[in-house]
């Protein structure tokens, strides 16, 4: 099996902050058990805790919410999944290199071994690669899209076969089988039930009923989660055993077919790459024959070919529509023609049948969007929705400080004001503290920068494009909104 330096595993000596059914452990504390294949082969995994990540969105003047179902493992189980994800990633990387599709998947390519190492891509470097390709073409055809409910629809039979193919014998060792079996046949304990057992509020939020969607309800859920995470163990063992069979759900069980893996596990992203390996190889071969480009970032992908390679784009579309059990998301899968005059959206169904017809629907897209960036044929910009979320959060944080300043003799604390600038101004780009450790709690400040740190990296990648905002305007906005 693959050999690598275990101590390079992220957070090797630290413990996670969330509460679960077992006690918090670092990888270092349980390393001996995890490296014991016989122990793992007989290990009984806890149910996952399931939660909904809800984001309120405003589109066309209408409010809606995006719901993303996640599930997270107990502390020991998480360390097991973490370790085996590296083992599987190394095997996948070796196959991708050997079969020459290693540059396709740019996410979840972590490796701790020297012989399985690849150059991991980021969304910035991947977007740059795609847009640079378009810029050097006189005219290009482009396909962007993603898969609908990707993780929820991964076919268990296909995934198991894909994982087995990474092993020379075509058979999974017992410990690997035990781990993947518990990922595929996972069970979930809803976090709302756990909150109720601790008499914490958990308001109902139904995406189909607009009246139930509110920032207050979402905030109340977050507060309950914070209270749960203060616990050492989220349920006493006696209560866990007494209620387990009544409460847990098994989302993967469908009529006649087993589908889906939990989103949020350490191994989920690697398994997604393994699932897509054969399609990635076929699409790459199709577009490479005409000098094209194919990149996939988990379930987001882009295919670009020169004008003369239109047939290869059609072939790529047909391959993408043939992925086992997952479907392209219609509203996000788009075809374009990009040339010196700009970006023109094409009718997707016509392109799929080999015809180049303009999009005749309402509001045709005039830019190619990929991984948080927009390209209009001339310049690259950050996606407007991304920038909008930053300004919304800045406004909320600054306005809260303004409210705390109201009234005679009332002033926001130095800690809160410093945190505001650390999180939302250029002063926080390098993650440096604005107060000495003696003046404020160091944990209140980010050590890793803020959104503008990401913007600065993007601007460096696209030096001639209008990525970064005017810093002076940001400072003026913070000062105005915080009434300071």
pLDDT digits (tens, 9 = 90+) for 317-330: 999 999 999 999 99
**Tokens 């139930």 -> residue:** 212
**237: Cα within 13 Å, side-chain hemisphere:** 2
Same domain, 136 and 71: no
The answer to whether position 438 is within a domain reads no
**Tokens 């909008």 -> residue:** 388
Same domain, 64 and 206: yes
The tens digit of pLDDT for each residue in 66-97 reads 788 999 999 999 999 999 999 999 999 999 99
Angle of helix 75-98 relative to helix 174-184, nearest 10 degrees? 110
The answer to whether position 365 is within a domain reads yes
What does the pLDDT read at residue 254? 74
CA distance 190 to 375: 41
CA distance 145 to 33: 42
Q: Determine if residue 100 is left, alpha or beta; phi over 0 gives left, psi from -120 to 50 gives alpha, anything else beta.
A: left
Same domain, 370 and 407: no
Report the number of distinct structural domains present in the chain. 3
The tens digit of pLDDT for each residue in 173-231 reads 999 999 999 999 999 999 999 999 999 999 988 877 766 677 788 889 999 999 999 99
Same domain, 92 and 176: yes
Phi, psi for residue 65 in degrees, rounded to 5: -140, 145
Same domain, 375 and 388: no
Same domain, 181 and 69: yes
The answer to whether position 1 is within a domain reads no
Which residues of the chain fall below pLDDT 50? 116, 433-446
Question: Which parts of 217-292 are beta strand (E)?
Answer: none
Tokens of residue 283, six digits = 């699409």
Check if the beta carbon of residue 275 is closer than 8 Å to that of residue 158.
yes
What does the pLDDT read at residue 213? 75
Domain span at residue 165? 6-117+151-258
Same domain, 200 and 177: yes
Q: For residue 297, give the CATH number of its domain.
A: 3.30.70
CA distance 19 to 46: 13
Phi, psi for residue 324 in degrees, rounded to 5: -60, 120
The answer to whether position 266 is within a domain reads no
CA distance 23 to 233: 6
CA distance 205 to 69: 13
Same domain, 158 and 86: yes
Phi, psi for residue 258 in degrees, rounded to 5: -100, 120
Same domain, 73 and 185: yes
Looking at the chain, the whole-number percentage of residues with pLDDT higher than 70 is 90
Tokens of residue 263, six digits = 């989103």
Same domain, 337 and 197: no
Across the chain, what does the average pLDDT equal?
89
The answer to whether position 437 is within a domain reads no
Same domain, 141 and 238: no
CA distance 48 to 78: 10
The answer to whether position 264 is within a domain reads no
The answer to whether position 267 is within a domain reads no
What does the pLDDT read at residue 115? 55
- Which of 361, 380, 399 represents a domain boundary (last residue)? 380
DSSP type of residue 172: -
The answer to whether position 288 is within a domain reads yes
Tokens of residue 298, six digits = 């988990």
Same domain, 311 and 288: yes
Please report which helix (H) or strand (E) contains residue 220, including its range: helix 215-228
């Amino acid at each position: 099996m693959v050999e690598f330096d275990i101590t390079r595993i992220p957070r090797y000596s630290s413990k996670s902050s969330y509460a679960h059914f077992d006690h918090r452990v670092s990888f270092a504390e349980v390393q001996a058990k995890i490296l014991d294949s016989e122990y793992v082969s007989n290990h009984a995994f806890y149910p996952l805790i399931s939660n909904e990540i809800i984001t309120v969105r405003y589109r066309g003047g209408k409010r809606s919410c995006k719901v993303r179902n996640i599930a997270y493992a107990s502390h020991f189980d998480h360390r097991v999944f973490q370790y085996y994800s590296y083992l599987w990633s190394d095997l996948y990387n070796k196959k991708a290199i050997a079969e020459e599709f290693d540059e396709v998947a740019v996410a979840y390519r972590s490796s701790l071994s020297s012989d399985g190492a690849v150059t991991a891509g980021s969304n910035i470097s991947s977007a740059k690669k795609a847009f640079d390709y378009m810029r050097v073409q006189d005219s290009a055809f482009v396909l962007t899209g993603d898969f609908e409910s990707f993780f929820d629809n991964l076919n268990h039979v296909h995934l198991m076969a894909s994982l087995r193919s990474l092993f020379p014998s075509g058979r999974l060792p017992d410990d690997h089988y035990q781990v993947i079996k518990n990922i595929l046949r996972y069970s979930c304990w809803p976090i709302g039930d756990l909150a109720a057992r601790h008499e914490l509020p958990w308001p109902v939020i139904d995406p189909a009923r607009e009246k139930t969607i509110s920032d207050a309800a979402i905030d109340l859920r977050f507060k309950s989660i914070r209270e749960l995470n203060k616990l050492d163990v989220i349920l006493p063992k006696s209560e866990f055993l007494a209620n387990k069979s009544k409460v847990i759900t098994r989302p993967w069980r469908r009529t006649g077919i087993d589908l889906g893996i939990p989103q949020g596990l350490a191994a989920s992203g690697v398994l997604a790459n393994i699932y897509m390996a054969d399609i990635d190889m076929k699409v790459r071969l199709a577009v490479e024959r005409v000098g094209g480009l194919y990149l996939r970032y988990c379930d987001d992908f882009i295919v670009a070919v020169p004008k003369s390679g239109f047939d290869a784009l059609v072939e790529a579309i047909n391959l993408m529509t043939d992925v086992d059990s997952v479907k392209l998301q219609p509203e996000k899968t788009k075809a374009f023609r990009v040339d010196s005059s700009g970006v023109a959206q094409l009718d997707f169904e016509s392109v799929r049948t080999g015809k180049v017809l303009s999009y005749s629907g309402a509001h045709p897209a005039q830019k190619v969007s990929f991984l948080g960036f927009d390209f209009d044929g001339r310049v690259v910009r950050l996606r407007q929705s991304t920038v909008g979320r930053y300004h919304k959060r800045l406004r909320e944080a600054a306005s809260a400080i303004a409210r705390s300043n109201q009234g005679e003799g009332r002033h926001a604390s130095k800690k809160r004001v410093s945190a505001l600038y650390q999180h939302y101004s250029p002063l926080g780009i390098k993650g440096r503290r604005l107060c000495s450790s003696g003046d404020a709690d160091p944990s209140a400040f980010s050590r890793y920068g803020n959104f503008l740190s990401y913007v600065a990296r993007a601007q460096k990648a696209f030096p001639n494009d209008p990525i970064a905002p005017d810093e002076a305007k940001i400072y003026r906005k913070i000062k105005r909104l915080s009434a300071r």
